[in-house]
Structure 1
Amino acid sequence: MTAKNKHKLMPFLLTSLIILADQLVKGFIVKNWPLRSPGGGEFIKDVFDNDLIWIIHVRNKAIAFSLGNNLPEFLRPALFIILPLLVLAFLGWYYFKTNELSNVQRWAFAGIIGGGIGNIVDRIFRPDGVVDFISVKFYGFLGFDRWPTFNIADASVVICGILLFLTIIIFPPRPEATAR
């Protein structure tokens, strides 16, 4: 394996860690928290002794913010599994095809791919929907008292997506990099 290939493969450690952490924590939540109720006993009270963060077990059969919740059941696999798989395949293809991505952008791509896979695993293997469990107080901003409940995979996609966007805006590809 060449150094160039190692350089491109290294960020996929993050992909693997995100998938592993996401699925382990979701498994813990499914096993230990009843649906639709904050839980966790004394541990949660000791760690989160305020109204800022709740751990609550909910399921989402749609996508972000429950978009598509009212779609017919037969459309959901195509829109919520096949379409995201195509997007992830394109991201993977672009990741390996281009030499224009910076190291930070490669790690951001890997984080987005890991989060995407984490939620697709739920959509395929959890018929009750994607496991969400983090609820954060939002103080009425944008009309939300609490931000919609999310999980590690969601957080990874959002954080890495913002990081990727900022690096593209702040550090656009250099002309010499695009001329290759």
Structure 2
Amino acid sequence: MKISKRNRFIFFIITLTIAVDQLSKVLVRHYVGARTETRLGEQIPLLGDYFTLMNVENKGAFLGMGSDLSEPMRIALLLILPILVLGFVLRYILKDKKLNYWSLFAFASIIGGGIANVFDRFVYGSVTDFFYIKITDTLRTGIFNMADLSVTTGMIILLIMSFKKDQKTSEEA
């Protein structure tokens, strides 16, 4: 069975996203605040106080939401539901031949990031987060990882693509 160039591109982006995320997490777990109490909470400034590296184990989802759920609810909402959604999105992009490469890249980045975080939840029981950006006391991020960055980048690209699509539609009308 021959795999099309388009599908190779999709699986390459998914695989690359997972690999970069997992490698970054291995390095952070090993070098930054490893799971030992002596280094827990360690922060490494990368760009002054504006961009910091740390190791935080997140049992929930985005910004720790869902970390206080019962174990069966956490399994349902943070493992089973994401796997189903990621499977449907993958099926969609494999079947819809009208999607351009930017959309394919965006969806594949979202799928790869989602799989990487689900893998962490399954294997470790939590997701390793490590990037923190603080521009001011009010302008700052939560702690995130490469998978989160991939998902966010994919969503931004899809948003931009939808605006461009709307622009083309209004120009044609």
- Shorter chain as normaliser: what TM range? 0.7 to 0.9
Normalised TM-score (structure 2): 0.86
Q: Which residue of 2 aligns with 1:32?
A: 31
Once the two structures are superposed, the pairs formed by residues 152-163 of structure 1 within 5 Å of their partners are 152-163=146-157
1:49-96 Cα distance to aligned partner (Å, 9 max, x none): 411111000011000011112211221011101000011001011011
Q: Which residue of 2 aligns with 1:136?
A: 133
Q: Among the aligned pairs, what percent are the same residue?
A: 34
SS at match of 1:131: strand
Normalised TM-score (structure 1): 0.82
Residue 6 of structure 2 corresponds to residue 12 of structure 1: no
1:108-133 Cα distance to aligned partner (Å, 9 max, x none): 11111110111011001112x10000
Are the equivalent residues in 2 in contact too, given 1:8–1:106 (CA < 8 A)? no
Residue 141 of structure 2 corresponds to residue 147 of structure 1: yes
SS at match of 1:168: helix
Q: How many residues align?
A: 162
Unaligned 5+ residue runs, structure 2?
34-39
Are the equivalent residues in 2 in contact too, given 1:37–1:56 (CA < 8 A)? yes
Residue 166 of structure 2 corresponds to residue 168 of structure 1: no
- What is the aligned-residue RMSD (CA, Å)? 2.0
SS at match of 1:11: helix
CA distance in 2, matches of 1:10, 1:102: 12
CA distance in 2, matches of 1:101, 1:140: 41
CA distance in 1, matches of 2:131, 2:82: 22
Unaligned 5+ residue runs, structure 1?
176-180
CA distance in 1, matches of 2:164, 2:137: 31
Amino acid at match of 1:36: G
